[in-house]
Amino acid sequence: MHMKLKLLLPVFFLLLLSCEEKRKATGSLPKDPLKKDGLYHLRTTSRIAGDPYGNFVTDTQGNIYIASFQKKEGALDRILIAKLSSVGELLWEKGQQSTGRAQAITISPEGKIWICGFFQGQLSWDGSSIKSKENAMFWARLDQDGKTEYLEKPAGEIMATQLHTNSAGEMLMVASMGKSATIGGMGLDRKVDETGAVILLDKEGKTKWIKALKGNVKRILSDANNSFWLGGDFKDEFYFEQDSFQIEDPFDRDGFLIRIAEDGSWSKQIGHKGIRRMGYS
C-alpha cells in the first residue's frame, strides 16, 4: 500500500504541474497556420464548471465568431467576443474591458452578428453605452469588422441562453426570466411555475412576440420553411402555449421536440413519456 502511494504521488504532482501550465497559457497560434491544421488556443477561461464556456458561428467565408468569457483580476469574468479566420488567425476581439459573459451568438443572412450575454457596471462599445449595478442582459448587433451597430439592455429580469437565426433573418431567443421583462419593445409577466420565455424577433431586433415556457431548451434549429425547432428536456411538467406534458415519476426526466411557426403555433411531442430516466424517450 505504501509503495503504491509513493508511486502515485510523483504522477499526481506532475499532473498538477501540467494543469498549472495550462492555466498560465495565453492566446497562441502556430507560426504558420496556413500550413497546419489542428486545435487552436484563443484564451483560457480559468473556470471549472459544468456550464458551457462559449458558443460560435461561421460565415460564408469560413470565418469563426466566438462568444465567451475569460476570468481576470479579482476573479471577475470579462466578456470575450472574437473573430478568427478559417485557419485560426485572430482577426479582432471585443469586450475584454467589460465585466460579464457573452453566452449566445448567431449570424444573419446579411452577415450581421447578433450576441447576447450579461454584464455588470458599464458596457461601452463604439459610442453605444449601457449601465447596470447588478448583472443584466445585453443584446447587441455587430458588423463583420466588430463595430457595434445596436446595443440594448432589456428591462426587468431576463437572461438569454439560446439564439438562432433562420434564412429569412428572423431570430428566436430562449431566455430565463424573473417576474417580468421587456425586450425589443414588448414585455411579459411570468407566472410562478414558468421557467422562462421564447421570443421571436425581426431583422432589426424588434420583438414580434414573447411567450412563456416551462422546460429546459438545449438546442434551436430552423428548417427550409423558416420554422424553428426547439429540443430539450423537462422534469415533472413541460408546457408551452395551451398544452402540457406531465411525468408521474419524481425521479424521471423526458425530452421534447417542438416546431414553432412565425405565429407561434407548434407541433406535438415526439416519443413516449417516462420510458428512460435522465434522457430522451
Mean pLDDT for all residues in the chain: 75
Residue among 158, 247, 256 at smallest CA distance from 210? 158
Beta bridge partner(s), residue 81: 67, 94
Query: Bigger pLDDT: 44 or 113?
Result: 113
DSSP 178-203: EEEEEETTEEEEPPTT--EEEEEE-T
pLDDT at 21 over 90: no
pLDDT at 202 over 60: yes
Q: The whole model's pTM is what? A: 0.73
pLDDT at 192 over 70: no
pLDDT at 166 over 60: yes
* CB-CB contact of 148 with 140 (8 Å): yes
Cα distance between residue 217 and residue 24, in whole Å? 35
Question: What average pLDDT does the segment 76-96 reach?
Answer: 89
Helical ranges in 25-155 per DSSP H: none
pLDDT at 199 over 70: yes
Cα distance between residue 273 and residue 246, in whole Å? 8
pLDDT, position 64: 92
Cα distance between residue 245 and residue 265, in whole Å? 17
* CB-CB contact of 57 with 106 (8 Å): yes
Cα distance between residue 215 and residue 193, in whole Å? 10
114-153 pLDDT, tens per residue?
999 988 888 889 888 999 888 888 989 999 999 999 998 8
Q: In the chain, pLDDT over 70 holds for what percent of residues? A: 69
Query: Bigger pLDDT: 8 or 108?
Result: 108
Distances (CA, A) of 27 to 40, 89, 213: 9, 11, 39
Question: What average pLDDT does the segment 163-169 reach?
Answer: 93
Question: What average pLDDT does the segment 244-268 reach?
Answer: 70
Residue 38 DSSP code:
S
pLDDT, position 91: 94
pLDDT at 94 over 80: yes
Task: Give 263's pLDDT tier (boundaries 50, 70, 90).
Answer: low
pLDDT, position 195: 72
Cα distance between residue 237 and residue 45, in whole Å? 35
Residue 214, C-alpha cell as written in the block: 416551462
| Dihedral sign for Cα atoms in the order 30, 32, 34, 36 | negative
Task: Give 26's pLDDT tier (boundaries 50, 70, 90).
Answer: very low
Give the range among 78-82, 181-185, 264-268 with minimum mean pLDDT: 264-268
Task: Give 265's pLDDT tier (boundaries 50, 70, 90).
Answer: low
Give the range among 76-90, 112-126, 263-277 with minimum mean pLDDT: 263-277
**What contacts 169, CB < 8 A, 6 or more positions away?**
108, 109, 110, 202, 203
